[in-house]
Chains A and B, each alone.
Chain A
């Protein structure tokens, strides 16, 4: 442990090591926070739950903070749910005693420079026989009233853009624009055919008539914006935040396990080979040469396609094929030198067993080379996992950074200019890779004084 303390003390003098350590600690904290804030089960539901989980979010929109850099502010998403008290509610019984009238008034302020992406009204009626009859009225800030729809509603959505009747009505009243534009447009601008949104307070009134006293109606108004949340959304309306957050623990776990598994096993095998020499050493050398000839990624692709895409299977295969890597030769060269040291001879003289010598005398001497190697290996495994995901062989369940990149690339994010979708996971991958690589490179210089002098 003295070694560790000395190293840490020395690392203070290397800014890149400090940056690397800070990045790694932040990543670890971020991962712990993620696992606590969005437990595994919840993350899976959020990521793979289907439309019923994602319907509230707009489709492929950048994160909300991008508005800071825009002169024309894009609208944020607005969710007004009467079940959560977001609507002003008045009820009165009808005179005959059969049924009642429910009025839901949604009021919201709209002060953006662009039109929203879409509008939807979700109805949640409760009734026994006859569904409630609903009239919806739109009131603009300048007091114009536009009738949206009159219909009996069952549980479901009214989509403003897709409604033909509304479209016809709007064409007569406002002009030939889709509903999301027509409803928000400044009347002065629609005449010039260059619609600009009218800023101010909008109102949506839902007037429902029920046919018995027990019936009820709740409704949810969603104004889909053009920006969303801290990370934006993808083509399935999923919040990228979930995958970005969960990518961290997955990447760290994969990188760390693969790097530790590989380096430690490689080292032990190299030590055994050197110590027993002869046939054992020869076999290990030959296996290494054959293994160097095996194309790792295509073989992992083969395993992923034929057998299992689970991240743990891929992890196991990765470790297995990396054990006999090029570093075995490096370790071997060093072990060969150590083997000739006098203290090894002394250990033999007092009758230490082979394995005692290997594990107590040979291996500890190589740690100064091993630790930087291990740290530098982590990012290459993190990127390997991402590579497999980009090839469509990512874990079928877990959301990872690589899968985000794959989603974005296969949905043409680069062609369509949806840069946030590509850049967010890439930036996180880059930061993770750089953090470990910076620390690893510095450790290499600290532990190998030959490099430090230069």
Chain B
């Protein structure tokens, strides 16, 4: 929280000879490379945890068997074989294939095979779950659910960011006012996660007042026209978005307002006031700008924690996204889906961090001018 508000070092000078764009591009490239290695390491750790009991091995074996069974059953050359002979043939071919793929190699070697598969999204076949389109490939199951998750969390994160900045700015202007004290007093409520408030929201708006749906993505049956469909989705989006926002807004407004206050007590702000600049200009140029990098760092951590909470929030709201897929996979003990979803979550975190990193580079003059570097 407040510790991140340590003032940035000032008096950075720009080295000559590089355009802003080039520097931005260089920074972005550097971050991409660093993040890539970070993601690879993260996915590797995930794979290792998943495979401590040999679970990924089982997934791979299942996949091989599946492929070979299909090949044998569809191959006209084996048509005259009895079922027993076919089964023996499948056994034999699977054993050979496992050997070819190195499943008999030591774990250290194998773990790198898994890593490569996870990185290329070859996530294997689900044991019990099926995608809406009927596929049993984990990748397809996950990709099918991803858009709804992105819709929910994208909407919530954007709303959260802009409303928090807006409210924090207003509160920093009227420090000590009634609303300021209300937000400070309410900031401890953010100790509870979004899903927790989600239960209360469902209780009040769905169960008691009956004005909003309990959950799910659209009405049943889904409306026919695209406009009505979108409106129905929008109606279902209200409660989960509200839950995410309520769970985080008070503490972010509180800490961001504190950042604003710290920066508005700087000498250059006083000077700008003395010069007679309007409040708006001062706010935009001298307070908001230097605070934004700190706020974005703070927001990045917040978004990471929100992503992490997705499985439970989507479960509470019955939202057919990636998180609920993970929850369903737990219920069905569908190992490939569990591992696959976890890997995808790691990717989502990485992409989020990457996007916010670029944003950080754009708003942080030190990166643009080429001074002290990133965080």
Q: Which residues of A contact B348 (CB under 8 A)?
A: 295
Whether A297 contacts B312 by the Cβ 8 Å rule is yes
How far is the CB of B165 from the nearest CB of chain A, in Å? 18
B8-52 CB contacts (< 8 Å) to partner A: 34, 38-39, 41-42, 45-46, 49-50, 52
Chain A contact-residue range equals: 35 or more
Q: Quick one: given A429-B196, A438-B188, are A297 and B304 in contact (CB under 8 Å)?
A: no
Q: Which of B3, B258, B311 contacts A298 (CB 8 A)?
A: B311
Q: Which residues of B contact A436 (CB under 8 A)?
A: 191
Whether A434 contacts B188 by the Cβ 8 Å rule is yes
Whether B262 contacts A294 by the Cβ 8 Å rule is no
Q: Which of A306, A391, A440, A441 contacts B50 (CB 8 A)?
A: A306
How far is the CB of A386 from the nearest CB of chain B, in Å? 8
Among A115-123, A211-219, A244-252, A409-417, the stretch in contact with B: A409-417
User: Majority SS of interface residues in chain A?
Assistant: helix
How long is the Cα–Cα vector from A415 to B261 in the complex, in angstroms? 46
Among B78-86, B133-141, B226-234, B324-332, the stretch in contact with A: B324-332
A359-397 CB contacts (< 8 Å) to partner B: 369, 376, 379-380, 383, 386-387, 390-393
Whether A417 contacts B207 by the Cβ 8 Å rule is yes
Whether B316 contacts A409 by the Cβ 8 Å rule is yes
Q: Which of B2, B46, B196 contacts A426 (CB 8 A)?
A: B196
Q: Which of B191, B195, B265, B309 contacts A376 (CB 8 A)?
A: B191
Whether A298 contacts B203 by the Cβ 8 Å rule is no
How long is the Cα–Cα vector from A333 to B297 in the complex, in angstroms? 15
Q: Quick one: given A303-B49, A415-B207, are A434 and B191 in contact (CB under 8 Å)?
A: yes
> Quick check: is A43 within 8 A (CB to CB) of the other chain?
no
Among A129-137, A153-161, A446-454, the stretch in contact with B: A446-454
How far is the CB of B252 from the nearest CB of chain A, in Å? 14
Q: Which of A299, A380, A419 contacts B49 (CB 8 A)?
A: A299
How long is the Cα–Cα vector from A329 to B345 in the complex, in angstroms? 23
Among B87-95, B334-342, B364-372, the stretch in contact with A: B334-342
Q: Which of B206, B335, B349 contacts A293 (CB 8 A)?
A: B349
Q: Which residues of B contact A429 (CB under 8 A)?
A: 192, 196
Q: Which residues of A contact B258 (CB under 8 A)?
A: 451, 454
Whether A414 contacts B42 by the Cβ 8 Å rule is no
How far is the CB of A412 from the nearest CB of chain B, in Å? 10
Whether B191 contacts A383 by the Cβ 8 Å rule is yes
How far is the CB of B239 from the nearest CB of chain A, in Å? 12
How far is the CB of A50 from the nearest CB of chain B, in Å? 24
Whether A302 contacts B338 by the Cβ 8 Å rule is yes
Q: Which residues of A contact B350 (CB under 8 A)?
A: 293
> Quick check: is B6 within 8 A (CB to CB) of the other chain?
yes
How long is the Cα–Cα vector from A423 to B192 in the complex, in angstroms? 14
Residue of B with least CB distance to A289? B38
Whether A444 contacts B203 by the Cβ 8 Å rule is no
How long is the Cα–Cα vector from A161 to B135 in the complex, in angstroms? 49
Whether B196 contacts A391 by the Cβ 8 Å rule is no
Q: Quick one: given A302-B49, A302-B338, A334-B3, are A426 and B191 in contact (CB under 8 Å)?
A: no
How far is the CB of A405 from the nearest CB of chain B, in Å? 7
Whether B346 contacts A295 by the Cβ 8 Å rule is yes
How long is the Cα–Cα vector from A145 to B301 in the complex, in angstroms? 72
Q: Which residues of B contact A419 (CB under 8 A)?
A: 203, 207
Show 11 A/B contacts (Cβ-Cβ < 8 Å), sorted by A.
A286-B38, A298-B342, A301-B311, A304-B330, A306-B338, A390-B316, A392-B327, A414-B203, A444-B1, A448-B3, A451-B258
Lowest 4 CB-CB distances: which A-B pairs, in order? A437-B188, A295-B345, A379-B191, A437-B191
Known: A292-B349, A302-B338, A302-B342. 8 other contacts (CB 8 A): A293-B350, A294-B349, A295-B307, A330-B3, A434-B189, A437-B191, A444-B1, A448-B3
